[in-house]
Amino acid sequence: MPKIKTQKGIAKRVRVTRTGKLMRRSSSKSHLLEHKSKKRKRNYHNEHPVDKADRKTVRRALGV
């Protein structure tokens, strides 16, 4: 049986923590930043867990 290949696009966007949680970066951080407040932009720095509905798909794509 062949090895499962990792989907590199997802591997670059999602990080697996030591406990096995899947963390992703925030959206809305790349453009149209002029009208957004400092506080709002600063909060985009934080990572968020991948939604429960997407976890199975992402895990399979990562080969975890």
Domain, as residue range, for 23? 8-62
In the predicted structure, residue 47 carries a pLDDT above the cut 90:
yes
pTM (2 d.p.) = 0.80
Contact 27, 49 (CB under 8 A): no
State residue 36's pLDDT score. Answer: 96
44 is a domain residue: yes
Domain annotation covers residue 41: yes
Is residue 2 in some structural domain?
no
Angle at 20 between CA 17 and CA 24, to 5 degrees: 55
Q: How far, in Å, CA of 27 to CA of 2, rounded?
A: 35
Q: For residue 1, tell me if it sits in a domain.
A: no
40, two tokens: 């709002």
Q: At 56, list the tokens.
A: 């199975």
Burial readout 34-44 (b: 16 or more C-beta within 10 A, e: otherwise): eeeeeeeeeee
Q: For the chain, how many structural domains are there in total?
A: 1
Instruction: Output the domain CATH number for residue 57.
Output: 4.10.410.60
On the question of pLDDT at 48 being above 90, the answer is yes
- For residue 23, being part of any structural domain is answered with yes
Q: What is the pLDDT of residues 1-29, one digit of tens each?
A: 888 899 999 999 999 999 999 999 999 99
